[in-house]
Amino acid sequence: MQLLDGKFASEKIKQEIAVEAADFLAKSGRKPHLIAILVGNDGGSETYVASKMKNCEKVGFQSSLIRYDVSVTEAELLQKIEEINQDAGVDGLIVQLPLPKHIDPEKVTERIDYRKDVDGFHPVNLGRMMRNLPCFIPATPYGILLMLQAYQIDTAGKHCVVVGRSNIVGSPMSILMARNANPGNCTVTLTHSKTTNLKELALQADIIVAAIGKKNFVTADMVKPGAIIIDVGINRETSDQTKSGYKLFGDVDFENVAPKSSWITPVPGGVGLMTIVGLLKNTLASAKGEIYS
Ligand SMILES: Nc1nc(=O)c2c([nH]1)NC[C@@H]1CN(c3ccc(C(=O)N[C@@H](CCC(=O)O)C(=O)O)cc3)C=[N+]21
């Protein structure tokens, strides 16, 4: 078993991003600029957004956090998005999910200018991704691709079983792994809550991407010896034993699965850290006009 170390891979890529950001500043006189909108005060969202902002500073980006109370109306939020869309000094705009129930996430996602949609959630970016055209790839799947690249894992011809079909991870991941690209060129099986023979399918996987949001969902009896395990889960449990007051668990029973695997991502310290790198890479590409000019 070898660790796919998100700390190591993310730090290495962030150094490269910092060099490019400095170069961009020297040439253009400004820093790449990311704006995050956070509604309410969900514990997880607070942590992730704070980390995104902190990492922007680290690589030499400008970052702004716009906070709204949970009572903000959908109209107010959409108005703010319109305003940011018009601002030529902003390269990326993300609205942290989940949103309160009275706000339609589909409306919010579609209102963000696809040229600033560094989360890669807008239908234009998803459509372009399906056609293998330049686009913003959703940050978590992008981070996973960067992780596979960092460890030079050859995915061509492998059977990849994705567990979970969410808009932000499972669905785009299945498309990316099947694309004629590197990483990619996998035979992909997308499984979800209605899949009847999940264990049987998982046992045939050379690569498992677990993104179902259930602690210890992938157990050792579901894993073929030598499989590559990508754990996207971030299940929080309150705990008095930790400084932060919570402990993170993936979707994989790491202790028992790790010895059977060839490569495995830990939680924390795996995919989550790469997600932030995916976001930074998209923001830099946006600033440089590499995707849309
Ligand atoms: N519009 C939007 N874009 C997102 O990209 C987005 C989102 N909404 N909503 C929630 C998910 C989740 N997500 C993570 C980001 C960083 C870590 C991360 O840094 N994790 C650390 C630990 C963090 C901790 O201690 O809680 C790790 O795994 O080592 C995890 C998860 C981004 N998401």
Q: How many CA atoms lie within 13 A of 94 on its CB side?
A: 29
Active site residue 96: yes
What per-residue confidence (pLDDT) applies to 239? 82
Indicate which residue's Cα is closest to atom 18 of ligand 1. 272
Mean pLDDT to the nearest integer, 141-167: 98
Mean pLDDT to the nearest integer, 23-45: 96
pLDDT tens by residue, 100-111: 999 999 999 999
From CA 114, how far away is CA 97, in angstroms rounded? 17
Mean pLDDT to the nearest integer, 141-154: 98
What per-residue confidence (pLDDT) applies to 242? 78
Mutation test residue for ligand 1: of 275, 276, 283, the one with most atoms within 8 Å of CB: 275
Check pLDDT > 80 for residue 51.
Answer: yes
pTM of the model: 0.97
From CA 231, how far away is CA 260, in angstroms rounded? 15
164 is annotated as contributing to ligand binding: yes
Active site residue 52: yes
Instruction: Enumerate residues lining ligand 1, CB below 6 A.
Output: 47-48, 51, 94-97, 119, 139, 234, 248, 267-270, 272-273, 275-276
Mean pLDDT to the nearest integer, 221-247: 92
Which alpha helices (DSSP H) does the chain contain, by range?
6-28, 43-59, 74-85, 105-111, 123-130, 139-150, 170-178, 198-202, 254-257, 271-287
Structure-token pair, residue 104:
């339609």
Confidence of residue 293 (pLDDT cuts 50, 70, 90): confident
Asked if the domains at 31-114 and 139-273 fall in one CATH topology, the answer is yes
Residue 128 CA from chain centroid, whole number: 18
State which CATH number among 3.90.950.20, 3.40.50.720, 3.40.50.300, 3.30.1340.10 fits the domain covering 139-273.
3.40.50.720
Confidence of residue 164 (pLDDT cuts 50, 70, 90): very high
Check pLDDT > 80 for residue 241.
Answer: no
What per-residue confidence (pLDDT) applies to 289? 98
Indicate which residue's Cα is closest to atom 27 of ligand 1. 268
Measured in angstroms, how far is the CA atom of residue 200 from the centroid of ligand 1? 30
Angle between helices 139-150 and 6-28 (to 10 degrees): 110
Check pLDDT > 80 for residue 82.
Answer: yes
What per-residue confidence (pLDDT) applies to 38? 98
From CA 141, how far away is CA 32, in angstroms rounded? 22
For 1-57, give the DSSP string. -EE--HHHHHHHHHHHHHHHHHHHHHHHSS--EEEEEEES--HHHHHHHHHHHHHHH
Quote the mean pLDDT of the chain: 97
Query: Which of helix, strand or coil describes residue 63?
Result: strand
pLDDT tens by residue, 270-283: 999 999 999 999 99
Structure-token pair, residue 48:
């992730």
* Domain regions of the chain by residue span: 31-114, 139-273
From CA 234, how far away is CA 140, in angstroms rounded? 12
Class (C level, CATH) for 31-114: alpha beta
Measured in angstroms, how far is the CA atom of residue 138 from the centroid of ligand 1? 12
Confidence of residue 85 (pLDDT cuts 50, 70, 90): very high
